[in-house]
Amino acid sequence: MDEQARIMQALGGVSLAGHSVQGGMALPPPHGHDGSDGDGRKQDIGDILHQIMTITDQSLDEAQAKLVHFFNLNVNIVFIRGAQEEDSPDPQLMRLDNMLLAEGVSGPEKGGGSAAAAAAAAATGSPTDNSIEHSDYRAKLSQIRQIYHTELEKYEQACNEFTTHVMNLLREQSRTRPISPKEIERMVSIIHRKFSSIQMQLKQSTCEAVMILRSRFLDARRKRRNFSKQATEILNEYFYSHLSNPYPSEEAKEELAKKCSITVSQGVGTTITVAQVSNWFGNKRIRYKKNIGKFQEEANLYAAKTAVTAAHAVAAAVRPSQTNSPTTPNSGKLKSESPFKLHSQQEKQYKSGGIET
DNA sequence: TGCAATGATTACTC
DNA sequence: GAGTAATCATTGCA
């Protein structure tokens, strides 16, 4: 490959080929640069740096001879292209910048992507649970961030070195033909723009890596955990003791979530949220309604359990006075024909003749 | 390994 | 916004 082609390639663009994040999270190739855009697009940053350093190491005369030829051939074309591409704020670049900033990849360090981790927590309805997964997420995001900054630094360094080199050559060339400062300035800005487009590819790759990371870690279905036995028992106890109206209030849900979390945190180190309690009751109501027969045994079991608990409580409470009055709803054997009170929405439908019971 | 159980999500209604 | 119904995706057991 001759020098002219090399320089053209250096200005053409690179990808992040060869870099990967620990754990198999490879940075994907940027869109539109999967090889269809010429071999130069696949050039690794290391090769670019090597080329630049090779040029720099050459004797000035040798490099000058080649570059003078290159500039004489291409400078007009580059100027025309440069004028066409000039001064248009790229919305794509702005989007990428905003996203990298929001994810905590660019900009000041936010604890390795704590903003995104917080968003993840919010998305799953829990600020504190899944802490193991989130710390893993943060670690991976931190790796992406590190690679991004390393590459960015390399690009900037390469850009500066290349600019300096070109400036030196132009100065050398100015001995043989007049070169105005404006011309040099223009050439520098063209080089900077070319390197900016390389940076954009880096940003795009980084954004894609973050997206993949997010989808992998934040898809809640993937990390579904069964509730502990104790937590399920607490929820079931409430459900069957309120079978006539298994719609816990917001306070009751919070209370249940707290109770379940206490029992769960002893073993697993996670919590159960109000949203999860809502999910649980939603699922339970539907599944109970769909197959009352199947749940009858379970219902009887919990009803008996509740009755025993209530009896003990009552016995303890009334022992001095020896009175006898059960306080727990649905104590004793359950009536299967009345699963639970209709939800207000269903109640309306029922009243209007829309539902048969 | 197949399958039932189960937590989460989605689309929809009110 | 809360609830239902259907469905998805994962877990855990025989």
- Whichever domain contains A300, its CATH number is 1.10.10.60
Question: Looking at chain A, how many residues does it have?
Answer: 357
Q: Which residue gives the smallest C-alpha to C1' distance to B14?
A: A345
Q: Which pLDDT score, from 0 to 100, does residue A319 have?
A: 61
Whether the pLDDT of residue A274 is over 70: the answer is yes
Question: CA at A209, C1' at B2: how many angstroms apart?
Answer: 36
- Give residue for tokens 């409470």: A317
Residues A260 and A125 in one domain: no
Question: CA at A212, C1' at C4: how many angstroms apart?
Answer: 33
A83: tokens are: 């004028």
Q: Is residue A128 part of a domain?
A: yes
- Cβ(A55)–Cβ(A165) below 8 Å: yes
Question: CA at A112, C1' at C6: how many angstroms apart?
Answer: 39
- Report which residue type is found at A285: R
- Report which residue type is found at A328: T
- Cβ(A202)–Cβ(A33) below 8 Å: no
Residues A111 and A258 in one domain: no
Residues A258 and A171 in one domain: no
Question: CA at A304, C1' at C14: how many angstroms apart?
Answer: 29
d(CA A114, CA A133): 13
Q: Is residue A344 part of a domain?
A: no
Specify which residues A15 forms β-bridges with. Answer: A44
Question: CA at A135, C1' at C3: how many angstroms apart?
Answer: 34
Question: ∠ CA(A32), CA(A36), CA(A38), 5° rounding?
Answer: 110
| Per-residue flag: A268 CB under 7 A of strand B | no
For A311, the domain range is 229-316
Q: Is residue A52 part of a domain?
A: yes
Q: Is residue A32 part of a domain?
A: no
Residues A183 and A259 in one domain: no
| Per-residue flag: A215 CB under 7 A of strand B | no
Residues A158 and A134 in one domain: yes
From residue A280, alpha-carbon distances to A23, A57, A225, A292 in Å are: 34, 69, 13, 17
Q: Is residue A348 part of a domain?
A: no
What's the pLDDT tens digit per position in A132-170?
Answer: 556 666 777 787 888 888 888 888 888 888 888 888 888
Residues A183 and A304 in one domain: no
Q: Is residue A299 part of a domain?
A: yes
- Using a pLDDT cut of 70, give the percent of chain A over it: 49
Q: Which residue gives the smallest C-alpha to C1' distance to C4?
A: A286
Most confident of A133-137, A205-209, A237-241: A237-241
What's the pLDDT tens digit per position in A301-332?
Answer: 888 887 787 777 777 766 644 433 333 344 44
Q: Which nucleotide is at minimal CA–C1' distance from A247?
A: C3
Instruction: Count how many Cα atoms sit within 13 Å of the Cα of residue A196 in the half-sphere of its side chain.
Output: 18
Q: Is residue A276 part of a domain?
A: yes
Question: CA at A300, C1' at C6: how many angstroms apart?
Answer: 28
Residue A177 binned pLDDT confidence (cut-offs 50, 70, 90): confident
Q: Which nucleotide is at minimal CA–C1' distance from A349?
A: B14
